[in-house]
Chains A and B, each alone.
Chain A
Amino acid sequence: GAVVSQHPSRVICKSGTSVKIECRSLDFQATTMFWYRQFPKKSLMLMATSNEGSKATYEQGVEKDKFLINHASLTLSTLTVTSAHPEDSSFYICSPFMNTEAFFGQGTRLTVV
C-alpha cells in the first residue's frame, strides 16, 4: 500500500499558539488531500478538501482562517491550527486520495493546554 508520513504524532501546545501538521505521500502523488478531525469515541469528521495548487474547500462549521491548509505540491500538504484553544484538542488525520482509494497518515494527537 501507499506510504503516508504525518508528523508530529503528538504535540502539546499552549493556548493561543499555532501548530503546523505536515503530511507527505512518500511513494505516490496525491492530487486530493482530505483533512479529518476525530474526537474521542467519535467518527472521522471531514474538515476540508484540498487539491494541489488551489484553495481548500472547508466543510460547514470549520473556520478557514483558523485551520490553514496548504497543498503546495502533489506530495506535501500542511494543516496549521492557528491561535489554538483547548477545544481544538483532537486527533487530526490527513488522507491523501489516489484513484479511488483513500490512504491515511498516522494522525496527530493535539493537546492544547
Chain B
Amino acid sequence: QKEVEQNSGPLSVPEGAIASLNCTYSDRVSQSFFWYRQYSGKSPELIMSIYSNGDKEDGRFTAQLNKASQYVSLLIRDSQPSDSATYLCAVTDPGGYQKVTFGTGTKLQVIP
C-alpha cells in the first residue's frame, strides 16, 4: 500500500522565521509531488509542484525533492501568521488514473 507520511505537528515558528515541512513516501515509482495548503474548513489549494530532483523556488516557498531518499520538503521563508494552516504533501504515480495519495498533513502555526 502506498503511503505518504508527514509529522502531524503542530509545528510552531515565530513570525519571520523559516518553516520546514517534511514528507516521505513509500512508492519509488511516484513521479509527481505536490504541496497543498488547507485552511480550516476549506479545500486544499496548490502551493508548489515538483517533478525532478533538486530545489524549486516560488516566492517565499521552496520545494525540495530527493527521489533516492524518497523525501520531499517545503520551506517557507519569512513565515507570516497567514501561513498558519495545514500543509498536505501529495504524490502521484504513473498509473493510468494518475491517482493522488495525500499525507495526513502538518499543521503549521506562525506565532506573531
Contact = CB atoms under 8 A, between A and B. Distances in A.
Interface of A: 1, 6, 32, 34, 42-44, 46, 49, 51, 57, 91, 93, 95, 97, 100-107, 109
Interface residues of B, number: 23
Contacts of A57: 97
- Describe A's contact surface by its main secondary structure: strand
Given A100-B32, A100-B51, A100-B98, A42 B104 contact: yes
Contacts, number: 54
Contact of A102 (B31, B51, B100): B100
B35 interface: no
Contacts of B105: 43
A1 B97 contact: no
Contact of A43 (B34, B46, B49, B104): B104
B69 interface: no
A109 B90 CA distance: 23
B53 to A, nearest CB: 16
A84 to B, nearest CB: 20
15 contacts: A1-B46, A34-B99, A34-B100, A42-B104, A44-B102, A46-B101, A51-B97, A57-B97, A97-B98, A100-B51, A102-B100, A104-B45, A106-B43, A107-B42, A109-B41
Interface in B1-57: 31-32, 34, 41-46, 49, 51
B99 to A, nearest CB: 7
Contact of B34 (A1, A44, A46, A102): A102
B109 to A, nearest CB: 14
A49 B97 contact: yes
Given A100-B92, A102-B90, A104-B45, A95 B104 contact: no
B49 A93 contact: no
